[in-house]
Chain A
């Protein structure tokens, strides 16, 4: 089992937005994708995932639709809205700037 690491505050939103920018997914799909991309280093807690999804839907970043999965099951698919995309690029920029700063300090201090 991979070690479960706590995500930094706000980074889950960024990861979800990024994953959804490749195409729409349902909640389960998002957890799978995140696990897969992080090579199982990251296991998203459902207890954080769904509130985060609802919050972002309320903010208008995501749009949800009920659709059939490939196994013919009904599931709720989340997709990025325009303002979700804007938010993603903004958050990505912020993150990169921040992590550069953190790296810089860790290396030089």
Chain B
């Protein structure tokens, strides 16, 4: 009761101030009149009675003041007044406000945007029920920590049951065609019929796969993604039951997934799902790793128990089938963790950290601005303190000022973050229009608000607290202009500058390393030459090209057709292009040597290539011969190995003419090495896990997914694109030709996500550099202005202008050098971090650190040069007289 009464009273006091004020005056007037009447009764004249009453009553104003204080909102009222005063004070120096708001906006904005990215990628929950029970299971081998499973592994594990329900998926791109539209390659997954149910996803339209459809012959049904429904079928309502041709065979669309399933973080951008439907040959295969596992742990099993179950199962499997499984182990990871990827957490943490550095630089700049402003008004504060203002009263206007700046900065930051995120979304949009949804939602806004508030409190109140430490007497006695601040304040400001330079150094080193590293990746010519090369991908439908003979025929015919085009030097077809890494690692043994222990055979990554491949992609043949048209499907098997493999397996001997055996489970296929070529490196930032590379003729190891490479002669690669397309569609109107473009464009595109990262780092570094420059300029300029009388005296006593300039430059340089020194350590740390996250990148930190240090010193000199010139231009007489 009384609480509400009190609250009501207080709220009235706050919002109906005017009424209460009037009531208070009226009440006191009544009191005075009564008192006067009493005195008048005692015989005083009305005038005398009134005066006596007033005398008795005391100071009405001060009484009213105390009455107001008793109502309990004075602090808020006077804070409102402080805010108004602060606003007026800030409006008085718009330049300062603009600087502070922009500084804060950039710092907080960059940080907020990064936080939003972090949330969208790492923290947004996956849209599945009981997601904590979902796990990925991997098969770790020497070549691949997140390896895949053979179909037999899957069937065994499924039969073992126990702690997990397991579903399997396999990548399966295919050509999709429907009436009246050109065919296209669809990003597809073959999934076991229980996968969607296991995730807990229901199709939005139609139905899920039925268990009996997970069998060869029954599998001609499709579930498509919401996105594909929109983009390919225009959201047609009669989509269910529609027939489309998959590699020429008619399939029925039975379901459309909800839009929320389109979570790019988990399955990637899959457009079409079809049943796994393992063929009898696949189902008994223990060798070919082709399946990824998705599992739901039963609720009664802890993650540790689950992990133990999985690894125990793997050991049992290894004991039963040592040839295929001895060298592998199984492990689990929660689905939520698996979506962030390998470099994800490190990269995100680094981005948030580095954007935090930008914010710190911005904050220390703000602190410096405010400190300088407070020092310039030191006298004002000293006078107010001398007149009896309490510490709180001195502190409040300063707090109000920084609060206003924080609000302005926060608003500006939201704009900056919005632009940042929008840019990132555009920039990170992938080939298929896949876009990472980023936005300013409540958690992000809260972050921005808290960051602003923190900034205001930490870096706005710090200078205010220094104002409280002022020695009143000393300040009043010192020069009329205000002082440069005591030694302590001076130290603090210098410390802030040193810190800024150190942070800027770290940002710049990180950015410089990454810019150089990525430029090296994009221009890498490691055993191949991408200038003048055009590439395209085709997927040969299994019905028309069931075996090696048909694929070999396609290969010959395509080469002949394209080599006939004007301006074409040579044409090749291959399983992959060297700049995009190699295919699966396989195990090999050397003929005439003792077989190594099962599972410990040397592994090599492989590529299937046509004749003239090495000539086309620019890989040097070191020994022996290239593949020729005579290497037919039924001809003796032949291999070409890279230098590392030749030297590793046959040290000091010639590899050509030696025989290798390729392990097929426990069977071995023998072939002869006919050539040795140079090592090649991919353009990816991850290190290639296997050094041995082996090539087989396309005719003997026929892949259905083929890369066409066309080397131009004399003409620009881009000019060949249209003739190639015309030549191919003329002959194969139903065969989609994907990503037909100059190799360099594709290489650039391959690392586009790193490009985003590079741009971000560059952006942070430039921001940091700009802010630090501003900071050092501001501090030096202000110190110089305050030391003007001193310089005046020096000049009057015969110092030369050069001496003054040197003095100013030296003070700026000293700070910069100290900052750079500290920054070197931090820069080294960042370079190590990057090197651990991107082992395939060349990150030499020596030149980058040297260059950045030099840049920072130059910037500091420049920033001090302007104030130095002004200091040198001092007229001694004027300065001395001004005081």
The answer on a CB contact under 8 Å between A50 and B27 is: yes
Among A46, A51, A60, A73, which residue has its beta carbon within 8 angstroms of that of B6? A60
Q: Do residues A27 and B31 form an inter-chain contact, with CB atoms below 8 A?
A: yes
0/1 per residue, B23-34, Cβ < 8 Å to A?
110111011011
CB of B63 within 8 A of CB of A46, answer: yes
B66 interface hit (Cβ, 8 Å): yes
A46 CA to B62 CA, complexed, in Å: 11
B70 touches A58 (CB 8 A): yes
Contact B63 A82 (CB under 8 A): no
Considering only residues 577-616 of chain B, those with a C-beta below 8 Å from chain A are none
Q: A54-B71, A55-B70, A58-B70 are in contact. Are A46 and B2 (CB under 8 A)?
A: no
Q: Do A47 and B58 have beta carbons less than 8 Å apart?
A: yes
- Residues of B near A50 (CB, < 8 A) are 24, 27-28, 63, 66-67
Given contacts A27-B27, A45-B58, A58-B9, contact A81 B72 (CB under 8 A): no
- Residue B3 lies at the interface, judged by CB distance under 8 Å to chain A: yes
Inter-subunit contact A74/B26 (CB<8 Å)? yes
The answer to whether the Cβ of B233 comes within 8 Å of any Cβ in the partner chain is no
Rounded to whole Å, the gap between the CB of B283 and the closest CB of chain A is 81
Q: Mark B58-79, 1 if CB is under 8 A from A, else 0.
A: 1100110011011110000000
Interface residues of A in 19-63 (CB under 8 A from B): 26-28, 31, 45-47, 50-52, 54-55, 57-61, 63
Contact of A60 among B1, B24, B62 (CB under 8 A): B1
A76 vs B20: C-alpha distance when bound (angstroms): 12
Chain B residue numbers with a CB within 8 Å of A60 are: 1-3, 5-6, 9
B13 within 8 A of A: yes
Asked if B30 and A54 make an inter-chain contact with CB atoms under 8 angstroms apart, the answer reads no
Choice from B5, B62, B72 contacting A47 with Cβ under 8 Å: B62
Closest A-chain residue to B34, C-beta based?
A28
Enumerate chain A residues within 8 angstroms of B72, measured Cβ to Cβ. Answer: 58
Q: How many residues of B contact A (CB 8 A)?
A: 30
- Asked whether A75 is an interface residue with its Cβ less than 8 Å from the other chain, the reply is yes
Q: Is the CB of A51 within 8 A of B13?
A: no
A82 near B2 (CB under 8 angstroms)? yes
Q: Is the CB of A46 within 8 A of B58?
A: yes
- Chain B residues near A63 (CB-CB < 8 A): 5
Q: Which of B2, B23, B59, B71 has a CB less than 8 Å from the CB of A61?
A: B2
**Residues on the B chain within 8 Å of A52, using CB:** 70
Determine if B1 and A58 form an interchain contact, defined as CB atoms under 8 angstroms apart.
Answer: no
Interface presence of A90 (CB below 8 A): no
**Contact: B27 with A59, CB < 8 Å?**
no
Given the complex, which residues of B lie within 8 Å of A54, measured CB to CB? 67, 70-71
| Residues in B whose Cβ lies below 8 Å from that of A99 | none
Tell me the complex Cα distance, A73–B35, Å: 14
Residue B454 lies at the interface, judged by CB distance under 8 Å to chain A:
no
Is A11's CB within 8 Å of the partner chain B?
no
Tell me the bound Cα distance from A79 to B134 in angstroms: 68
Contact digits for A63-92, partner B, Cβ 8 Å, 1 yes 0 no: 100100000011110000111000000000
A75 B70 Cβ-Cβ under 8 A: no
| With A46-B56, A83-B2: A58-B13 Cβ-Cβ less than 8 Å | yes
Is the CB–CB distance between A59 and B58 below 8 Å? Answer: no
- Chain A: which residue is nearest B68 at the CB level? A54
Task: Find out whether the CB atom of B67 lies under 8 angstroms from the CB atom of A51.
Answer: yes
Name the contact of A58 in the complex, choosing from B28, B30, B31, B71 (C-beta under 8 A).
B71
B57 within 8 A of A: yes
Contact B1 A83 (CB under 8 A): yes
Closest chain-B Cβ to A51's Cβ sits at a distance in Å of 4
Q: Is B158 an interface residue (CB 8 A)?
A: no
Residue among B9, B10, B27 making CB contact with A75, cutoff 8 Å: B27
From B13, B30, B58, name the one whose CB has the most chain A CB atoms within 10 angstroms.
B30
| Bound CA span A62–B10, Å | 13
Bound form: Cα–Cα A35–B10 in Å:
31
CA distance A82 to B6 in the complex (A): 13
Complexed CA–CA distance, A80 and B72 (Å): 20
Shortest CB-to-CB span from B739 to chain A, Å, is 76
Chain B residues near A31: list those with CB within 8 A: 31
A31-B27 Cα distance, complex, nearest whole Å = 14
Distance in angstroms between the alpha carbons of A1 and B28 in the assembled complex: 24
Among B24, B27, B33, B66, residue most surrounded by chain A Cβ atoms (within 10 Å): B27
Quick check: B69 and A51 within 8 Å, CB to CB?
Answer: yes
With contact pairs A47-B66, A54-B70 given, residues A75 and B2 touching in the complex (Cβ less than 8 Å)? no
A-B residue pairs, 8 tightest by C-beta: A60-B2, A83-B2, A54-B70, A60-B6, A55-B70, A60-B5, A51-B66, A28-B34
Interface residues in chain A, defined as those with a beta carbon under 8 Å from any beta carbon in chain B: 26-28, 31, 45-47, 50-52, 54-55, 57-61, 63, 66, 73-76, 81-83
Q: B residues bordering A, Cβ < 8 Å?
A: 1-3, 5-6, 9-10, 13, 23-24, 26-28, 30-31, 33-35, 56-59, 62-63, 66-67, 69-72
22 A-B residue contacts at CB 8 Å? A27-B31, A28-B35, A46-B58, A50-B63, A51-B69, A52-B70, A54-B67, A54-B71, A55-B70, A58-B6, A58-B9, A58-B71, A60-B1, A60-B3, A60-B5, A60-B9, A75-B27, A76-B23, A81-B1, A81-B2, A82-B2, A83-B1
User: Contacts A46-B63, A58-B72 given; 7 further ones with Cβ under 8 A?
Assistant: A46-B58, A50-B28, A51-B70, A59-B6, A76-B23, A81-B1, A81-B2
